[in-house]
Structure formats: C-alpha cells, structure tokens
Structure 1
Amino acid sequence: MTGSKIPATVITGFLGAGKTTLIRHMLANARGKRIALIINEFGDLGVDGDVLKGCGDDVCSEDDIVELNNGCICCTVADDFIPTMEQLLSRKNRPDHIVIETSGLALPQPLVAAFNWPGIKTEVTVDGVVTVVDSAAVAAGRFAHDHDKLDAQRLADEGLDHESPLEELFEDQLTAADLIVLNKTDLVDGDAVSGVRAGISGHLARKPVFVEARNGEVAPEVLLGLGIGTEDDIANRRSHHEIHHEDGHEHDHDEFESFVVTLGPISDPAGFIEGLKPLIVSHDILRLKGFADVAGKPMRHVIQAVGSRIDTHFDRPWSAGEQRETRLVVIGLHDIDEAAIRKSLAELAG
C-alpha cells in the first residue's frame, strides 16, 4: 500500500540552519523528478518561496510551490496544511514527491501526525523527517544538550528559573528526525563536528542517521527515498509541547516576534553588511533575511544572516515591471526593539 502513496519529506531545522539552501541544491540535482514544495514562512515576507521559484519548470513550476504564511504550520494544520495537501492530490498531474519546509519555529510532530488525517493517509506517506543543524552554531554553544550542566547553570543564576524555549524547540526537531544533516561543517574543524554529532546522538533515545554537509550540498538520493512511514511512528517522537499540552497548557510562539523593513536602494552594500553585524549583536536578532536593491546593479541581492554571520549573493535580475526595493524580515525575541532596529537599518541604507 505504501508503494502506491506519494512520498513526502518534512525538512525542519532551527532558524538559519540552511533548509532553503539544502532544498535549492536538491532541486538542482533532482534529475527530472517532479517535486511539489510546501513552504511555511515565518513572518510577513515570503523570502524562501521567492528564492525557490527559480527552480525551473522541469522540476517544479511556480504552481508547484505553495507558501503557507498564516502562522506556524504546527498551529494551522487543519486550516492551512490539510487543504493544501488536498489541493495537490486533486491535480491531474500529481507530483512524484512532496517536500515540506517548515518554519524554523515549527514543531514537526503535529505536522507528521496530520498525515494520519482521513483522505491524506491513504494517498501520502511521510518518507522521512530531515532535520538540518547549523553545526557551527551548536559547536559554539548556542544550544545546551547536557541537562545536568543546564541545571547547574540554572541553580547558579537566580534570574534563570526555566528552560529555554529555544532549546526545547531544537530538541523537538531532533527528536522527530529520521535523518539529521549536520550542515555548515566547513565553518568548524573535524573535532567540533564530531563533538556536535556525539552531543546530539547521546541526547536522543532513537538513533537517526547523520549526514555531514557544507552549503546544504546533500545528494537528493540521500534525502529522498528513505521509506520510513514516519506517521506510523509518531508516538515515539513526542515533543515537549505535547507533554506540556497534556497538562492543559496552550501552545504559542509569543516569545518570538517578526517584522518587515522596507527600504530604498542600498548605495554601499559592503558598508551596509558590515553595519548589520553590530546591529544584530546589540539587539540579539535571531535571524535577518531578505532582498536588497543595490543601486546601479541589475540583479537582486539576497541577504541571509544568522547571528552576526551574514551570507549574500546576487540571485537573479530584477524582472520587468517588478518594483525594486529592499525588504528584510527581522526575527527576534518578544522584547526586541523594533523602532530602534528600523531606525538603524534606515540609517545604514543611507
């Protein structure tokens, strides 16, 4: 029965781990496999969908890319995800494979459980859950995996009286994984990568497969065709939220905020990027991404920042009739100073 179902791959991972880059590489090497993409962007700017729409009609046309930006996909399964899946399944030319890129803030477990929905379970199966990890960030101690050390830190700091929700989220994404991609290994040495692998593996009851990668370069045959049927094993991958929710607590993402900043052309792109680094650090911005209109350049400039590490590239020419502008989405914690950040970005743009 599983062989007649359309396989679906859920790609999850924390903010800036490299999920979109991984998908771009997968599409560029899909060898004719027709892939439909469902993208759950966090915030008001569909950056990832716009970046991926250049994938080419042979692999996935623009009609095969669906963006769900009404909120975290784990909270809008019935309202957004199920209707989207039903729409894909009703098409005359069905995709060979469905790839779902979750928001960096989404819990994978509710999404996987949705594949047991009547009308979906008989048509689609979860080929596997792929969790992308920013190896450099983890090696630098961005997330704590040793609960004993975490408890010791908590006892030593009277102001730290609860577990970090970011740590729980990261943990839940690893718990759900069938395949863990240790991305950005080029930014750390071999010992650090081994330490990240050992730290994650030792913290999980299940033993997923690990793959090391740089720039999201993982062969499609490694990512696709796992044949797990993860929806049938969801009981073994319970999230912190599911355990917490059983006690009557509600799930939300109030600890995060995002907003979009629209600016004019950037006259000095190098200076703008350099100016972003201290701005990100001083305001503890988790993620900044978007597009810049560089004065005098015919191509759009993509900006992707994780902490103070910033990647940029020109991705495509501005289309005829397309409004040239700089648009950036900023993601941070709930007490982020939006007004100050907007002012600083405007000053940097000149």
Structure 2
Amino acid sequence: MSSLAKVPCTIVTGFLGAGKTTLVRHVLENAQGRRLAVIVNEFGDVGIDGEILKNCGVENCPEDAIVELANGCLCCTVADDFVPALKNLLDRPSPPEHIVIETSGLALPKPLVKAFNWPEIASRVTVDGVVTVVDGAAVAAGRFADDPEAIARQRASDESLDHDNPLEEVFEDQLLCADLVILNKADLLSADQRSTVTGEIGKTLPRAVKVVEAQNGQVPVAVLLGLGAEAESDLSNRPSHHDLEGEHDHDDFDTFIVDLPAFESPQVLIDRLRKAAMAHDILRLKGFVDIAGKPMRLLVQGVGARIQHQFDRRWSSDEVRRGRLVVIGEKGLDQTAIQTLVAG
C-alpha cells in the first residue's frame, strides 16, 4: 500500500514543559475542517493534558477522538497501549484524516516511530513527521547545553562524574529524531539568545532540519502537518543514545500527586509553587486548582520556577471541586517537604 493511501500521523515530542499540549491545541483549533484525532500520553496517573485538549470544543475532533494513555511512557508500552489505541481510531466509522500523537516529556521518540512498522498497522498509517518542541528559555539558561568535551575531561579526573546525564540524553534523542524543531517561547529570548540557542540545537541535529521560532505554540498548521517524512522508513538517519538497548526505564525520575485544598486567590498558590520549585529543583508542575468563590477551574502549569495559570473552564455542577497537582523531578524529591510547602 502506498504512503498516499495511509493515514498520516504527526508525533509531537519535546522535553517537560516545552509547550507540546499548547501546540497540539493550536492544531486542533486551526484544523480548517480536517478530521483529526489525538493520542496523548501522560507520565503519571492524572490526565492533565488530556483534559486541556478535550476542552477545546473543536467539532472535527470530538472528545471521543482524543485518546489518553496514562499507563506509562508510550515508547515502553507500544504493544499494550499504543498499537491498540491507534487501531481503534482507524476502525472508527469515520476514521481520522490525520492523527496527532503527543508523547510524554520523558519519551524517546524513535521506539514510537519504529512501532509504525508493526504488521498490525504498517499498511494503514505513516509518520508524516516528528515535531520536536524546545523550551527556548530553558536551553538559553543552559539546562541542556552541556559541553561534551568539558564533561569528558571532568569525568576523566573525577570518578564521581562517570555517569550518564539522563535529562541530556532524553533531550538530545528528541532532537535527533526530529523532522521539524519548534523553538517555543522565543518571545522570552533576545535576538542574540535566539541565535545562540538555534546554533546549539543545530550542533545536535544529525541532518538538515528546519528550526521555527514560536510563541505559545503558534505555528501555522500548514507548517506542522504534511511534512511527508515517512519517518518509519528513515530510521537509520535518526540516531539515538539508546539504539543498542532493548528498552529503557524512567528510574531517574520521580512523579507524584499533591492533593490541594481550595485557595483564596491564585497568587497565594503561585507563591507557594515558586518557593517549592526553587527549594527542590522541581522540573515540572501541572494540575487543576479550586479557587474559593470562583465558578471556573484554575489550570496551573510550571517549568521550574516559571509558573503559568489561567481559568480554563467552569466547574461542572456534578463534579467535586478537587485540586490535584502532578509534580515531576529527578530521583530523590522530598515529597513530604513539597507537600507541606504547596498544600500547607
């Protein structure tokens, strides 16, 4: 079956807090009549990203066409979760014309691309492109700009540094698999910083890949969809740190849930979250919060100490106004201390 007869799929990958869900929501809201479906993968058991997307209210992507997989990283659960979910979408009476797949921030995209060669789906779908979303401000701050030669010298002189940097590897693997890189949050960078970050990204990319600057994931849908990469047939040009490994795990990361009381105002909560993030080097925060006396639910998302919040929808009359927050960080987070700082 030719690739033209297959349903194109776009894989949206990127590190924690880069803006993947915002980008996917932008695609849904600007689909221009195209019949879409979304598979969204959560790291942890609270479906924050799925909830955000389901509240778009887009006619050509109804709630039942947004599939949420929260049982682990997609790249580790291909057979159990991803392939059956994809087949279910394709078997719908009106199957989608394009499928967008948002991976978790800790996912390696290459194993997911490989899954498109599985016999159950190989004749029906193709990877139109891998879009990697990068948090420009984070890269500019040096979180993922390690000097490989300097690290090699340090490791040679200090055995305590002879270990992998898992965050760096995840970040690099996401770039190494990309057909398009979105430099998100470009509005937070100066012109010189944008040039420097783009240069750093270019050093990692193994081939000619376009880097597009964006603010709040606002990229024309025509740029994101229709890349025609057929990435599943181009695996050799997508090197990975994990090519020789059968599987990988996420033992280097902790994720847990904080149950939140109602707060008098958003600022009280934001101040607590910033304090906790700075004190405990939290990578990612996201959740929903009840603000006393307000009819709408507060959506909170944070990358490090940068916290964003907005009222996203009204509380339903039949739902419990319960606040819950997902916290993600490297192994060893002091969960009790973070719980105390955030929830009191």
Residue aligning to 2:161 = 160
Residue aligning to 2:315 = 318
Q: 1:57 to 1:275 in 2, by over 3 A?
A: closer
Q: CA deviation at 1:149?
A: 2.6
Q: Distance in 2 between the 1:298 and 1:40 partners?
A: 29
TM-score between the two structures when normalised by the length of structure 1: 0.95
1:197 maps to a residue whose letter is T
Counterparts in 2 of 1:217-236, with a 5 A limit?
217-236=218-237
Q: Distance in 2 between the 1:203 and 1:12 partners?
A: 16
Secondary structure at 2:249's aligned position in 1?
coil
Q: Distance in 2 between the 1:59 and 1:149 partners?
A: 51
Counterparts in 2 of 1:243-322, with a 5 A limit?
243=244, 245=245, 251-322=248-319
1:259 maps to a residue whose letter is F
Residue aligning to 2:11 = 10
Q: Conserved in 2, the CA contact under 8 Å of 1:7 and 1:126?
A: yes
Residue aligning to 2:212 = 211
Identity of aligned residues (%): 58
Secondary structure at 1:116's aligned position in 2?
coil
2:253 maps to a residue whose letter is F
Residue aligning to 1:123 = 124
Q: Distance in 1 between the 2:299 and 2:76 partners?
A: 29
Q: Does 1:44 align with 2:45?
A: yes
Q: CA deviation at 1:153?
A: 4.2
Q: Conserved in 2, the CA contact under 8 Å of 1:18 and 1:183?
A: yes
TM-score between the two structures when normalised by the length of structure 2: 0.97
Count of aligned pairs between the two proteins: 343
Secondary structure at 1:240's aligned position in 2?
coil
Q: Does 1:103 align with 2:104?
A: yes
Q: Conserved in 1, the CA contact under 8 Å of 2:258 and 2:339?
A: yes
Q: For each residue in 1:21-46, what CA deviation from the matched residue of structure 2 results, as whole angstroms up to 9, or x when unmatched?
A: 11111111111111100001001111
Residue aligning to 2:32 = 31
Q: CA deviation at 1:269?
A: 1.8
Secondary structure at 1:241's aligned position in 2?
coil
Question: After alignment, is 260-269 or 33-42 more displaced?
Answer: 260-269
Secondary structure at 2:168's aligned position in 1?
helix
Q: CA deviation at 1:2?
A: 1.1
Secondary structure at 2:115's aligned position in 1?
helix
Which segments of 5 or more consecutive residues in structure 1 lack a partner in the other structure? Answer: none
Q: Conserved in 1, the CA contact under 8 Å of 2:272 and 2:341?
A: no
Secondary structure at 2:278's aligned position in 1?
helix
Question: After alignment, is 81-90 or 128-137 more displaced?
Answer: 81-90
Superposition RMSD in Å: 1.3
Question: After alignment, is 196-205 or 283-292 more displaced?
Answer: 196-205
Q: Does 1:78 align with 2:79?
A: yes
2:162 maps to a residue whose letter is D
Q: CA deviation at 1:160?
A: 1.8
1:256 maps to a residue whose letter is F
Q: Does 1:338 align with 2:339?
A: no
Which segments of 5 or more consecutive residues in structure 2 lack a partner in the other structure? Answer: none
Secondary structure at 1:131's aligned position in 2?
strand
Secondary structure at 2:299's aligned position in 1?
strand
Q: For each residue in 1:85-140, what CA deviation from the matched residue of structure 2 results, as whole angstroms up to 9, or x when unmatched?
A: 11111111000100000000011001000001113111111000000000000011
Q: CA deviation at 1:3?
A: 1.1
Q: Conserved in 1, the CA contact under 8 Å of 2:33 and 2:60?
A: yes
Q: Distance in 2 between the 1:57 and 1:280 partners?
A: 34
Q: Does 1:182 align with 2:183?
A: yes
Secondary structure at 2:269's aligned position in 1?
helix
